[in-house]
Structure 1
Amino acid sequence: MPTLFKRCKCGAKIKINERACERCRASASAGANKMYNVFGRNKEADKFYQSKEWKAVRAIVKARQPFCVACGKPTQIIDHIVPIEHGGATLNLDNLQGLCRSCHNKKTAQDEEKFKK
């Protein structure tokens, strides 16, 4: 059975179930990231996460916990067990854990619900 194609807005040939070609997706993503960096990012948090201290502590935690403590996949994010904005220690190893992106997103959603009350 032949594969159906359509055209991206730039003219590139793409599969029928795709919205855009790889180049256009990358361009759109870069634009969204730029807008987020300018208008949405927490400047104070960004400064902390770019600090030498955080990068050193992050490396220690990642070496100690190379796999997600929740599911066992490779660690992608070092998470504050108690969020900083809710009194969690910023650089205390006891308040940090390695999580994969999926488990971090779930935990963040749970934290938001928990601390919303």
Structure 2
Amino acid sequence: MEYETEQQKKRFYKSKEWQLLRREVLERDNYECQECKRNGRVYTDNHDPDKHKRLDIDHIKEIEDHPELALEIDNLEVLCVKCHNKKHNRFKFKKKENRWSEDERW
């Protein structure tokens, strides 16, 4: 299956097949971000109670490049939203420069 348009992607991610597989991956990975885990941190589904969705399921090999692996459980892992965004370079904000950093403190 090709995922050429955003509409096709949305249809895929809303499919019952994907929803069942997503739940299976969450259970397999113990509801923990695997990237945080690799870096010695623990991030579970209990963080950020104000967020509606704290954990994503990531395609290790992207479905745009490997559509045949879209539903392959070995190509999926749990990532927290922060790690998932970092992996895909989403929401990169430049650190605001402190214009007072050179001023004398007293």
Category of TM-score, reference length = shorter chain: 0.5 to 0.7
Q: Quick one: which of 59, 74, 77 aligns to 2:56?
A: 77
Code of the residue aligned with 2:66 in structure 1: it is G
Q: Which amino acid in structure 2 is aligned with residue 73 of structure 1? A: Y
Letter in 2 for 1:69: Q
Task: Give matches, 1:1-117, under 5 Å.
Answer: 42-65=6-29, 66-71=31-36, 72-74=42-44, 76-87=55-66, 89-109=69-89
Aligned residue pairs, count: 70
- Report the structure, 1 or 2, having the larger helix content: 1
TM (norm. structure 1) is: 0.56
Q: CA deviation at 1:108?
A: 1.4
Q: TM-score, normalised by structure 2?
A: 0.61
Which structure has more relative contact order (CA 8 Å, sep 6+)? It is: 2
User: What do you get for the CA RMSD once the two structures are aligned?
Assistant: 1.8
| Identity value in percent | 40
Structure 2 unaligned runs (5+)? 37-41, 46-54, 91-106
If you compute each CA radius of gyration, which structure gives the higher value, 1 or 2?
1
4+ runs deviating over 2 angstroms: none
